[in-house]
């Protein structure tokens, strides 16, 4: 990641934090909770995207405006814009043979290496518009004219902000010559890419160590009570008393292996005829679904007979759809998650809608001696903006730099505890910290990272099988992995602050 991207991310976080602190100092608590919260969350997640560049890469400049001007045909009358791939003729100098060479060059919308951020956004907007127009034509019998006025307007406004002079003039000439509503000046070329809305990157699973196992059941021995020292007595007789002995107490924890599976069915003809690399996209999507499900289970899972939340109606941030929720195969039954663990051990702290250093210290104190362990704070994007960035004691990356102590994606520290966002720490909980179907609060988890591990029998595996009798292609991704702690069930290794 270059210094410009890092500085941009730090500046966004610093601006959000300064505004929150200003509102907090005025005592305007209502404003702190509600003023432009959604906008601030968007700004914060964008900064998070920059800081997690391995997963979301920003386009880098490859020539700037000089490269943009190369997409204009060179002619005395100011030639047209090369939107897509086109044939170019190059005359080599005499010292290189003087040959005339024909080649195929990329156009403005087909170049895989954008010249700058404006160019990258143009490709995204054009791809989004053309995808919508193609869907309209496919939905109408016999085809027909596609109409996307709002997307056309967004694209037109963006084109008019072109930073390259020659290209901008050429595009304006094209627009003035257009005879219709604007469909003539951008070809309906379907670009081989699919645009996906931004989501908070998943980083939680990578924070915990992985332990490879070979069996279906794992027994982990532990020492529950160690040896005990006694006062050493003085020898006063010929038959001195023996030192007092003690017996260490041992136990074990049983961990049963389980896992997750994702299955999608596609038509073989659709995969063959798709304008995009549908097979590759589907493979990537089902593996991403495993990661989503595992992180959701880490926070919201409950392996008890009766799940603590109303998961039959809980569609976390719209990720899981409206059907198939809450059954025996619901991924939130895979293992005991952090929220349920805190509830089982009475390790919850009512925050009364406000986060403060004192409240955070109280949450840490619930963990007793583990409060000075290897803790990580897991917060929602909403809580990060409205509750943490307003605290002057929070050190954000604009203050301490990008040398995160836990993993890429750490956005701040409070009392030395790294703060990491997860989209599955939702903002629709009741004041009790449970999901009941109504409520608009969120929370904060403190987890002792050293108390947990990911026990893995087998990593993610993708398998594809075609049913030749129907033409259906089954794509299945599976993983055999659980998150568990060797600690006794009553041990407080997670603290949950509720009602933020």
Q: Which tens digit of pLDDT belongs to each residue from 241-261?
A: 777 777 776 677 788 889 999
318: left (phi over 0), alpha (psi -120 to 50) or beta: left
**Of the candidate ranges 266-270, 332-336, 353-357, the one whose mean pLDDT is the lowest:** 266-270
> Residue 110 in 3-state DSSP?
coil
The pair of three-digit structure tokens given for residue 23, joined into one six-digit string = 């509102």
Give the pLDDT confidence score for residue 33 in this predicted structure.
53
Confidence label for 424 from pLDDT (cuts 50, 70 and 90)? very high
179 has a pLDDT exceeding 50: no
Nearest Cα to 441, choosing from 498, 357, 364? 498
- Quick one: DSSP state of residue 234? P
Give the pLDDT confidence score for residue 6 in this predicted structure.
63
Nearby residues of 76 by Cβ (< 8 Å), 6 or more positions away: none
Give the pLDDT confidence score for residue 313 in this predicted structure.
95
Parallel, antiparallel, or unpaired: how do β-strands 417-421 and 375-379 relate? parallel
**Of the candidate ranges 56-65, 203-212, 351-360, 413-422, the one whose mean pLDDT is the lowest:** 56-65
User: Is 434 within 8 Å of 302 (Cβ atoms)?
Assistant: no
141 has a pLDDT exceeding 60: no
DSSP alpha helix (H) spans, 70-142: 117-139
Tens digit of pLDDT for each residue in 73-113?
765 445 577 777 767 777 777 777 777 777 777 778 778 78
Give the pLDDT confidence score for residue 136 in this predicted structure.
61
Tens digit of pLDDT for each residue in 209-228?
888 888 888 787 766 666 77
- Angle between the 3-25 and 37-51 helix axes, to the nearest 10 degrees? 150
pLDDT, greater one: 252 or 141:
252
Tens digit of pLDDT for each residue in 489-499?
999 999 999 99
347 has a pLDDT exceeding 90: yes
Give the pLDDT confidence score for residue 398 in this predicted structure.
58
pLDDT, greater one: 128 or 401:
128
Q: How far apart are CA 41 and CA 317, in angstroms?
A: 14
Give the pLDDT confidence score for residue 236 in this predicted structure.
76
Give the pLDDT confidence score for residue 60 in this predicted structure.
39
Give the pLDDT confidence score for residue 277 in this predicted structure.
54
């Amino acid at each position: 990641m270059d210094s410009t991207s890092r500085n941009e991310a730090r500046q966004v976080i610093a601006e959000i934090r300064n505004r929150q602190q200003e509102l907090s100092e005025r005592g305007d608590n209502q404003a702190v909770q509600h003023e432009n919260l959604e906008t601030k969350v968007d700004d914060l997640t964008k900064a998070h995207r920059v800081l997690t560049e391995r997963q979301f890469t920003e386009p880098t400049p490859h020539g700037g405006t000089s490269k943009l001007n190369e997409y204009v045909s060179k002619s005395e009358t100011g030639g047209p814009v090369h939107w897509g791939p086109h044939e170019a003729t190059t005359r080599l100098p005499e010292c290189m043979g003087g040959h005339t060479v024909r080649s195929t060059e990329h156009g403005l919308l087909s170049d895989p290496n954008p010249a700058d951020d404006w160019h990258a956004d143009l490709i995204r907007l054009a791809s989004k518009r053309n995808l919508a127009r193609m869907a309209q034509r496919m939905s109408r019998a016999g085809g027909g004219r596609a109409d996307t006025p709002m997307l056309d307007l967004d694209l037109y406004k963006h084109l008019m902000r072109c930073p390259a002079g020659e290209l901008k003039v050429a595009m304006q000439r094209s627009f003035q010559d257009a005879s219709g509503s604007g469909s003539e000046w951008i070809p309906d070329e379907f670009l081989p890419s699919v645009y996906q809305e931004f989501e908070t990157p998943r980083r939680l699973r990578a924070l915990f160590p992985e332990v490879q196992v070979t069996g279906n059941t794992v027994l982990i021995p532990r020492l529950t009570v160690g040896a005990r020292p006694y006062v050493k007595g003085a020898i006063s007789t010929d038959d001195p008393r023996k030192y007092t002995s003690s017996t260490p107490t041992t136990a074990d924890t049983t961990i049963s292996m389980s896992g997750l599976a994702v299955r999608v069915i596609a038509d073989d003809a659709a995969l063959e005829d798709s304008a995009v690399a549908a097979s590759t996209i589907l493979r990537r999507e089902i593996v991403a679904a495993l990661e989503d499900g595992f992180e959701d289970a880490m926070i919201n899972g409950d392996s008890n007979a009766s799940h603590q939340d109303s998961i039959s109606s809980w569609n976390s941030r719209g990720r899981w759809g409206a059907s198939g929720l809450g059954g025996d195969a619901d991924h939130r039954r895979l293992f005991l998650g952090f929220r349920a663990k805190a509830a089982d051990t009475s390790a919850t702290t009512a925050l009364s809608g406000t986060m403060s250093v004192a409240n955070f210290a109280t949450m840490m104190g619930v963990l007793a001696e583990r409060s000075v362990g290897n803790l990580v704070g897991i917060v929602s994007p909403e809580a990060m903006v409205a509750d943490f960035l307003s605290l002057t004691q929070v050190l954000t990356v604009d203050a301490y730099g990008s040398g995160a102590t836990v993993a890429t994606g750490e956005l701040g520290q409070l009392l030395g505890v790294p703060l990491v966002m997860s989209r599955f720490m939702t903002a629709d909980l009741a004041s009790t910290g449970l999901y009941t179907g109504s409520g608009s609060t969120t929370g904060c988890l403190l987890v002792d990272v050293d108390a947990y591990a990911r026990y893995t029998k087998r990593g993610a595996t993708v398998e594809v099988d075609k049913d030749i009798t129907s033409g259906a292609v089954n794509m299945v991704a599976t993983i055999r992995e659980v998150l568990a702690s060797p600690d006794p069930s009553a041990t407080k290794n997670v603290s949950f602050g509720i009602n933020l």
